[in-house]
Structure 1
Amino acid sequence: MRFMLAVGLAWALVLSVAPLRAEEITVPEGMADQVEFWKRVYTEVGTDGGLLHDSANLSVVYEVIRFPEKLRTRSQRQRYVDRFKAEYREILGQLAEGKREGLTPAQRRVLELWPDDVSNATLSRARSRLRFQLGQSDKFREGLVRSGAWEPHIRRTLKAMGLPEELAALPHVESSFNPRARSRVGAAGLWQFTRTTGRRYMRVDHVVDERMDPFLSSLAAARLLEHNHSVLGSWPLAITAYNHGAAGMRRAVRTVGTDDLAVIVDRYRGRTFGFASRNFYAAFLAAAEVDFHFERYFGDLKRDDPVRTTSLEVPDYVPAKALAAALDVEMATLRAHNPALLDPVWEGNKRVPRGFELRLPRGAAAGNPSVRLAGLDADQRYDRQIPDRFHTVRRGQTLSAIAARYGVRTTELVSLNNLRSRNLIRAGQVLRLPGEDLPRGESLTAESSGPAEPVPESGVYEVRQGDSLWEIARRYDMHVARLVELNDISADAPLRVGKTLRLRPRPDEDGAPA
């Protein structure tokens, strides 16, 4: 990547290695102040402080705040910032009343941050626009170090798709290049995909979450950015859409009547088009500039070496321990290089799925990994995943009590169900339970494998002594969830001998046969 930021009426980001026209990624006229602001955030102040500023006019920074070392909690720091806000709110109120003579040094300094002809009305509005931005220089520096592991791969991916390589700076804004990052709203991974958006391009479920894999999520991010650009026609809009959504940016363009991002940022008042969305493109440009000239801001910095792996496709459903043994690698090594596989796989409650692209550090496995994998014992190769079991939460139940009932760990239930807290469950919620292993008779050994029982012509099953939903579903090669849905019962409902269960929908019902 090579680009220059030049200041005139606007800064232009000049690309030397990109198949798209150089003018497509630019600093729109009127947004240079925003870019400078975010450069300060990324390089000047760490997370031990920040900038107190006007939320609409980012050229107005009232104070660089540094937290005293004794203030460690969020609430303590918030109260500290609030004192500064109160002080500046009072100063702005005095200036808004027209005071221009006999100013204190603090009042004069605040007034000089604004144009000479600033109106009292503008200063009055500024009282409600005081905002504190936490510094990020320490996180950005850490991200620069981490970026060495992934940035070369990201650039190759972007180049192969004909996209500007400068887009590789986006993870600085999203996650500080932390592939394990998770946000409070459920976004995850290097590129901070939400589950909803992630599922458009990746597998995201309770067994595999490809958002956590930097290789797979980088390809997904490139495809999303490519889609945004095809829909919106410019990179300022396409990059902003990474945060606000393509539909949201189309709505902004229609509402304001222009595709000029600077005008949209200034005039659009969409309900969800808040500070983060308005500043996303400027923050990206600042990150790209700092990334390219990192020595200027952080001195001599040693980035991590690029991650180099070899990959092979898993031919069947295989327990993770069996894969590690066959490949003669430590489980910890296997887990570190395959972050898309979630806890249930590593805890033995699910198998590595058939077709999964398993990654190994180059040279980690002795001999040819594909040959070693082909030598897996037949009783470690399965033709299906360990099925899910379910429990419907009842009023008053706790996660620890449910775990004790089924003889599993509470942490297993938390990870299997992507729960944010062990205390946040509700009556009626359906929880997945760690699955029981299938009998060896259902492995791929030809002499012992057999088909599921055919569904009776009537489509119903009469419960027998000792039956469970789990056993019935397995007998007819169904998911327990399907059996629960067909019969409108809870997954842990007690079964009465003689009760009839539907195994397929009634003829007059919509839905695929079981």
Structure 2
Amino acid sequence: MILLALVAAPVFASDAFPRPAALEHDIAFWRRIYTEVGTDGGLIHDPVRLDVVYEIMKFPGDLSPRERSKRIDDTKRKYSRMLDRLAAGATDLSEEELRVQALWPKGTRRARFEQASEEVRFQLGQSDRFLEGLIRSGAYKGHIAKTFQKMGLPTELAALPHVESSFNTYAYSKVGAAGMWQFMRGTGRRYMRIDSVVDERLDPYIATEAAGRFLEQNHIVLGSWPLALTAYNHGTAGMRRAQEAMGTSDITTIVREYSSRSFGFASRNFYVAFLAALEIDSNPEKFFGPVKLHPIDNSQIMVMSGYVPASQLASALQVDSDILRKLNPSLLPTVWNGSRHVPRGFEFRVPAEMDMNKVVARLASADRFDAQVADTKHKVRGGETLSVIASRYGVSMARLAEMNGLRKPYRIHAGQVLTLPTTGKPTQAPVQVAQAEKEKEPTPPAAAPTGVVGTENRYIVKRGDTLSKIATKHGLTEQALMDMNEIRNRNFVYEGQVLALQASARVAPPAEAQVPVDTAVPAAAAVAEVAAVNEAAEPASEREAEELGPTLVPGAQAAASADPADYSVHDGSTIRVQAAETIGHYAEWLEVRASQVRKLNRMTSATPVVIGRKLKLDFSKVTPDQFEARRVAYHRELQEAFFTEFRISGDVSHVIKSGESIWVLAQQRYNIPIWLLRQYNPDVDLGSLRAGTKLIIPTVEPVAAANAAPANTGPAG
């Protein structure tokens, strides 16, 4: 263990990460949450004026989650009643009511007390978790800072995992964000390998590089580190909308004044929570006394030259498998339980004290295979089509259909188990939301977009929804909706959750809205099982998830989207055209004819749709929210389908020459989709390129065929 040296560090502030005086009360609030109150208590407070704290709550250790929730609700109601009396102008105030009144500035208006009465909030304490994170950070923080320094990024960003995961490499949220940097699968696939064998989001070294690239892109788009950090939680496009709406990049103005249905408490507080974490991290002894950090990880790497069973590795290395599992968190349970081999080319970590010459000698006795173990069964997930599954395993769709007694148009459903040919060769990662190849298979009925009731009588939860609102909207009782969807806690629904609106319509949530359940992708429990001592970085209850604020929130947009495109509807019912969109798409999402869209924009059938062009739309049949949801779902499926076929292997620079076409450049010379080129060049107007413009071109390669070899392949020589 390393004893942290005494450092009299000043309160941190820099040009990159300013501490506006107007936000000091907010920073102080999170400093209290991180250092004064543990997860056995919390603060009852106002969510806007964080300096107004009504009470510090403490819970007995034997209090059940249900009893704790009741106690919190009772306390919140108590303060709401007091604030109601202040709003009514009562003069016969009790001692407690006078105390509450004194927490507010003199002259506070009655309307403000009325607002406060409706917004009393509980914030769970996190000092115990923060201390655990400080201790864990010793293993990796130095490496993170060096990595960011090499990338030309502020080294202070190395403190961000305090907010995201408390430096827990196994942190896994209820909606699938994973690892120290809490990447969602969709974003993670742009930078890392994620399949049934390896999930590099759990690798602290590879995920750190991915986080650096993601943060760098945020900064390119937004031009400010406070906004780039907030975008890590709220999304790049969301923060650019805030920037444009307020006409400024000033973080104080945006935090205080920007209003959006999706810019909630977590996003609004993300930057100030980071500043509090950074301050504590710079001088932890000031808050916690002497802190012993975990030793720096000095593990050694050996690159696997073939496919080796994990059990044979442990035996040959004479190292307990539990130790190897902790050193290699990105290897999933399928490897450790023997269903898959440690893959060829994998950088396998071994203890620092091992003699690598002896390691090489010992490994000579281990069986090495020239191919991976193959699947014999596949459990269909929501959004998958037969063509995509067939492509993944390297077999023809006709052969797969024949084996499973399917007839055209080859309809399959989530949960169905398909038998695979024994010669099948999986060639790509599991699909979460796949898109059918139109030339091979009829397009399946479109899934109901977020917040829209489809023909399957289902509803996908939007941000800001509550169970009671959804039930009332669709003529149901809240209890009936809970029973239909097996919901136990009426206070917890999350964005993306799929709810059935009648008993026979119950469906599973979309892939990104729940932890996958088939064996091809680890469930949260399976990932947690990898770590024998997985310190609790996850909420202990659903209620607690709502109370964690901007840190460790399942479903918060932690690295949720690397897509900077703006899919929202703007004032005047207008949008900006994005890559891979056509007039036909807009007509479909609007439920109108394409000719109506063209007529509204004075376009002929020969007029091209140009990326970045403003178009006016007709919302007579659908709402802007419904349109946005369908638009986002389309792009998500498009991108998910691409990343099941290809992975990013690197990038190159290209300087535009006179006469060069962006379409020819992307689709013929570099063979990448325009939307991917857009994501790597978020600050470039692709619709109006000039000679001399420098582009970053991502290089892609097919998902390694190494993941997809027959099971009966024998040992390599």
TM-score by length of 2: 0.53
Write the deviation string for residues 97-155 of structure 1: whole angstroms up to 9, x where unpaired. Answer: 122x3321111111111111100011111011110000001111111111111111111
Instruction: Read off the aligned partner of 1:80 and give its amino acid letter.
Output: R
1:355 and 2:345 correspond: yes
Partner of 1:179: 169
Q: Select the residue among 15, 29, 33 that pairs with 2:25.
A: 33
Residue in structure 1 matched with residue 100 of structure 2 by the alignment: 110
Distance 1:368 1:156, change over 3 A: farther
Partner of 1:341 in structure 2? 331
Relative to 1, partners in 2 of residues 1:314 and 1:108: Cα closer, same or farther, differing over 3 Å? same
Q: How far off its partner does 1:473 sit?
A: 3.4
Q: For residue 322 of structure 1, report the CA deviation from its aligned partner.
A: 2.8
1:463 Cα shift? Answer: 8.2
Q: Retained in 2: the 8 A contact 1:54–1:131? A: yes
What amino acid is aligned across from residue 64 of structure 2 in structure 1? R
After superposition, the C-alpha distances for 1:277-300 in whole angstroms (9 at most, x for unaligned) are 110110010011111121111111
2:56 and 2:283 mapped to 1: Cα distance? 23
Match of 1:316 among 306, 313, 322: 306
* Matched-pair contact (CA < 8 Å) for 1:392–1:429: no
Following TM superposition, by how much is the alpha carbon of 1:428 offset from its aligned partner in structure 2, in angstroms? 10
Counterpart of 2:36 in structure 1 is 44
Find out whether 1:260 has 2:266 as its counterpart.
no
Distance 1:336 1:266 in 2: 43
Larger radius of gyration: 1
Between stretches 282-291 and 252-261, larger displacement belongs to 252-261
Distance apart, 1:392 and its partner CA: 4.8
Match of 2:521 in 1: none
Query: Residues 332-353 of structure 1: CA distance to partner in whole angstroms, max 9, x if unpaired?
Result: 2222211100011111111111
Counterpart among 126, 137, 145 of residue 136 in structure 1:
126
Percentage of pairs with the same residue: 47
Residues 331-410 of structure 1: pairs in structure 2 closer than 5 A: 331-365=321-355, 367-370=357-360, 372-373=362-363, 375-376=364-365, 380-392=367-379
Match of 1:4 in 2: 10
Q: Provide closer, same or farther for how the CA distance between residues 428 and 266 of structure 1 changes in structure 2, counting only shifts above 3 A.
A: same
Query: How far apart are the structure 1 equivalents of 2:72 and 2:357?
Result: 60
1:397-436 map, 5 Å = none
The DSSP-based 3-state class of the residue aligned with 2:15 is helix
The amino acid that maps onto 1:109 is: R
Which residue in 1 is equivalent to 2:421?
A: 470
- Measured at CA, do residues 263 and 472 of structure 1 come closer, stay the same or move farther in structure 2, by a change above 3 Å? same
* Cα distance in 2, alignment partners of residues 269 and 391 from structure 1: 45
| 1:317 Cα deviation from its structure 2 partner | 2.0
Deviates more, 1:51-60 or 1:218-227: 218-227
CA shift for structure 1 position 386 = 1.5
The verdict on how the C-alpha distance between 1:357 and 1:426 changes in structure 2, with shifts beyond 3 A counting, is closer
Contact 2:376/2:420 (CA < 8 Å) preserved in 1?
A: no
Aligned in 2, Cα 1:142/1:469: closer, same or farther, shift over 3 Å?
Answer: closer
**1:210 positional shift:** 0.8
Task: Show structure 1 runs of 5+ residues with no match.
Answer: 6-12, 15-21, 394-416, 418-424, 433-451, 489-511
Equivalent of 1:88 in 79, 87, 109: 79
Rounded Cα–Cα distance in structure 1 between residues aligned with 2:309 and 2:273: 43
Q: 1:487 to 1:480 in 2, by over 3 A?
A: farther
Counterpart AA for 1:384:
A
Give, in angstroms, the shift of residue 307 of structure 1. 1.2
2:99 match: secondary structure: helix
TM-superposed deviation, 1:215: 1.6
Structure 1 residues 108 and 198: CA distance shift in structure 2, 3 A: same
1:387 maps to a residue whose letter is A
Shift of the 262–478 alpha-carbon distance from structure 1 to 2, 3 Å rule, reads: closer
What one-letter code is carried by the residue in structure 2 that aligns with 1:58? Answer: L
Distance 1:317 1:233, change over 3 A: same
- What root-mean-square deviation, in Å, do the aligned CA atoms of Structure 1 and Structure 2 show? 3.5
Higher RCO (CA < 8 A, seq sep 6+): 2
Contact 1:329 1:365 in 2 (8 A): no
In structure 1, distance between residues paired with 2:75 and 2:221: 44
**Distance of 1:166 and 1:76 partners within structure 2:** 40
1:199 partner letter: R
Cα 1:368–1:163, aligned 2, differ >3 Å: closer, same or farther?
Answer: farther
- Counterpart check, 1:223 vs 2:174: no
In 1, the alpha carbon distance for the partners of 2:75 and 2:400 equals 71
Question: 2: distance between equivalents of 1:461 and 1:145?
Answer: 51
1:38 is displaced (CA, Å) by 0.1
Paired residue secondary structure (1:31): helix
Q: 1:54: which partner in 2?
A: 46
**Distance in 1, Cα, partners of 2:59 & 2:346:** 47
SS of equivalent to 1:121: helix
Q: 1:479 to 1:155 in 2, by over 3 A?
A: closer
CA distance in 2, matches of 1:211, 1:479: 17
Alpha-carbon distance in 1 for matches of 2:385, 2:187: 27
Residues 161-193 of structure 1: CA deviation (Å, up to 9, x unaligned): 222221111111111111111112211111111
* Aligned residue in 2 for 1:70: 62
Deviations 1:398-432 (A, max 9, x none): xxxxxxxxxxxxxxxxxxx9xxxxxxx999999x9
CA distance in 2, matches of 1:122, 1:46: 30
- Taking a change above 3 Å as real, the CA distance of residues 392 and 145 of structure 1, as seen in their structure-2 partners, is closer
| Displacement after TM superposition at 1:72 (Å) | 2.9
1:296-326 superposed Cα distances (whole Å, 9 cap, x missing partner): 1111121111111111211122222233334
- Would the aligned equivalents of 1:320 and 1:345 in 2 still touch at CA under 8 Å? yes
Question: Could you say which residue in structure 2 is the equivalent of 1:273?
Answer: 263
Mapped partners of 1:218, 1:236: distance in 2: 19
Q: Kindly indicate whether the alpha-carbon contact (under 8 Å) linking 2:8 and 2:283 is maintained by their aligned counterparts in 1.
A: no
Q: How much does 1:487 deviate?
A: 9.2
Please report the TM-score for the alignment, with normalisation by the length of structure 1: 0.73
Q: Can you give the 5+ residue segments of structure 2 that lack an aligned partner in the other structure?
A: 1-6, 404-418, 443-701, 706-717
CA offset digits 1:47-68 (Å, max 9, x no partner): 1110000011111111111113
Partner SS state of residue 52, structure 1: strand
